[in-house]
Structure 1
Amino acid sequence: MSDSQSKPTVNHKWNSNTWLKMNKSQRLKRNIKKHKHSYILMAPYFSLFFLFTVFPVVISMILSLTYFNMLEFPRWVGWQNYARLFLEDDVFLIALKNTFLFAAITGPISYVACFVFAWLINEFRPKIRAFLTLIFFAPSISGNIFFIWLIIFSGDSYGYANGFLMRIGMIYEPIQWLQDPTYVLAIVMLVQLWLSLGTAFLAFIAGLQNIDQTLYEAASIDGIRNRWQELWYITLPSMRPQLMFGAVIQITMSFAVADVSMALAGFPSVQYAAHTIVTHLIDYGSIRFEMGYASAIATILFIIMMTTNLITQKLLRKVGE
């Protein structure tokens, strides 16, 4: 017998015991080496992501600890900007209250509305479904269409809301809808809800279209008896990625509202009734050029949005359980 035949073959593949003995850095290096082609393909996206998303966020957090007026070199002030925000800036506290109230009302309502309308529209034939999708999606992609609502809530008798209410005898003189702190925030919420059927709505439509129909047939054999059980045990779990995406979009929209407020209520709004964190950020960042203070506002908003997103994603993971 030759030497080559007498020597046992050596298995050079890594077994599970060897993998467990490796530390994290060794595992990372081995994963990168094993999937190097995938990392190369993802490199352009991650480069742009870090350059235009991660890097600006980090720079903003650093600037929030400085005094920076765009003319002088940033001067370190530590936590002074944050102390000023919560202890001295009464307008920011109003903006914080308005933003949380706005997000707590419009966020869940718009999220549920996006799904319900998508679920209902999905039942129609393709041509009707495409037409209805366009109708519902159109307001979110239109340009500056706030003038429609400015006409509806005009403060004179020619405004549609005042004219209708005066005609039926509910009021006897025009209401200054957009100049009265009692009404202005509610009107802004109403318009934002009208505009909310956007990206999340399309994501839900796409998710419903991609559900494997054989799951419903199997579920009927396993004991699913009505549409509500199908919705909870099949539709929602099958759409979990789209539900996550829609939640992120709707939370971002509800916390980052600014254009609607400024277009309808002015800037600043009367008694800051429609003032939000983003409008406060625009005030200090784009008008006063107090970039350190504006960065502190942006950092607070970032923390709020990240916390809310994490809580929402944790709740959505329980869907269908």
Structure 2
Amino acid sequence: MKPKKRTIVERLKTIKDSPMLFILPYASLFTLLIVLPVLVAVLLSFTYFNTVQFPTFVGFQNYIDLFTGDTVFLQHAISNTLLYAVIVGPVGYMMAFFLAWMLSQVPHNIRTIYTVIIYSPSVTGPVMMAIVWRVLFSGDQVGYLNYWLLEWNLVKEPVQFLQSPEFLVPVMIFIGLWGSMGVGFLAMLAGLLNIDKTLYEAASIDGIRNRWQEVFFITIPSMKPQMLFGAVMAIIGTFNAAGIAATLSGGTPPPQYAGWLIVDHANDFGFIRYELGYASAVTVVLLLIVVLFNKISYKLFGESK
């Protein structure tokens, strides 16, 4: 006996009750704004595309040129990006957890005020903060730091903090740390505030005697999802940073390519030289690096099966 065919009303009711309907808006936007651009970038990385003529397929030539002939990418962009990410990422991550843990110990009203103060620098972004901090590190006596160094007779003439490669990178890292208290910081604070307090009472009965033991044996294991989210956001934020050194120094590229990051390199070829195929190859390499570091984060903070 053949199964009875469902009516249109019954089919619509089935679709209405399906959980897939609830994730459809997110899935559509994720595909349109994330998946599709990534696929286009991967395809363009195998072409020569100058934004005027139709893309010409060149195979792996862009990647060969990138790793064999692009000295700026090999000597400056990769090393500066890894240095910036390795310092700003982990240090900023630990600072975010430490500040979130401290704020979780204070009353609600005071905690709200301090949370807004700590989070607000990340809203403006590193480039906007670089514009603000140029006043402090300006290379003349008008700059606040140089003014006090001259006033206290610590230097004979103003120090060129923003034009010297040996000072520009540390200043850039300092600004990155200043603005690293972003969404990951809020997630950690939320995780800390939602830990079951009875766990600490039970732990004190089992022999835990100080705050450090509570942090390592109760707090961190109880908020692994928030720790993972903060790690992922820190990785993405540091590797996607761009334009900081150029904004500080007032020129593109900065002196001797100090602070020149991978995204700066991609922007240079994509929006200044209009070699979008080559710029896409740079972004694909950056994507692979980010995926690698995210894998490490999942190993550290992901749920063990």
TM-score by length of 1: 0.85
Name 1:302's counterpart in structure 2: 287
Name 1:7's counterpart in structure 2: none
Are residue 129 (structure 1) and residue 111 (structure 2) matched? yes
How far the C-alpha of 1:184 sits from its partner, in A, is 0.6
Name 1:272's counterpart in structure 2: 257
Q: What is the aligned-residue RMSD (CA, Å)?
A: 1.9
CA distance, structure 2, for counterparts of residue 282 and residue 137 of structure 1: 28
- SS of 2:31 mapped into structure 1: helix
How far the C-alpha of 1:218 sits from its partner, in A, is 1.7
Greater C-alpha radius of gyration: 1
- In terms of mean alpha carbon deviation, does 133-142 or 305-314 score higher? 133-142
Cα deviation 1:264-320 (Å, max 9, x = unaligned): 12321011011100111111111111110010000000000010011122022489x
CA distance, structure 2, for counterparts of residue 148 and residue 41 of structure 1: 43
Which of 113, 117, 130 is matched with 2:99 structurally? 117
How far the C-alpha of 1:253 sits from its partner, in A, is 1.2
Shift in CA distance, 148/48, structure 1 to aligned 2, threshold 3 Å: closer
Name 2:9's counterpart in structure 1: none
Which of 29, 52, 56 is matched with 1:75 structurally? 56
Name 2:90's counterpart in structure 1: 108
CA distance, structure 2, for counterparts of residue 142 and residue 59 of structure 1: 29
CA distance, structure 2, for counterparts of residue 59 and residue 219 of structure 1: 52
Cα deviation 1:174-221 (Å, max 9, x = unaligned): 111111111111111111111111111111111111111111112222
CA distance, structure 2, for counterparts of residue 52 and residue 254 of structure 1: 21
Which of 194, 204, 211 is matched with 1:220 structurally? 204
CA distance, structure 1, for counterparts of residue 124 and residue 273 of structure 2: 31
How far the C-alpha of 1:129 sits from its partner, in A, is 0.5
Q: Is the 8 A contact 2:138 2:144 kept in 1?
A: yes
How far the C-alpha of 1:145 sits from its partner, in A, is 4.1
Gap regions ≥5 residues in structure 2: 1-13
Cα deviation 1:32-87 (Å, max 9, x = unaligned): x9xx7222211221121112111111111111011111111111111100111111
CA distance, structure 1, for counterparts of residue 279 and residue 206 of structure 2: 57
* Percentage of matched positions with identical amino acids: 46
Which amino acid is 1:157 matched to?
A: Q
Gap regions ≥5 residues in structure 1: 1-32
Which of 45, 57, 61 is matched with 2:42 structurally? 61
CA distance, structure 1, for counterparts of residue 245 and residue 109 of structure 2: 36
- SS of 1:179 mapped into structure 2: coil
Cα deviation 1:70-113 (Å, max 9, x = unaligned): 11111111110011111111111111110011111111100000
The correspondence of residues 88-237 of structure 1 with structure 2, limited to 5 A, is: 88-93=69-74, 94-142=76-124, 144-237=128-221
Which amino acid is 1:98 matched to?
A: N
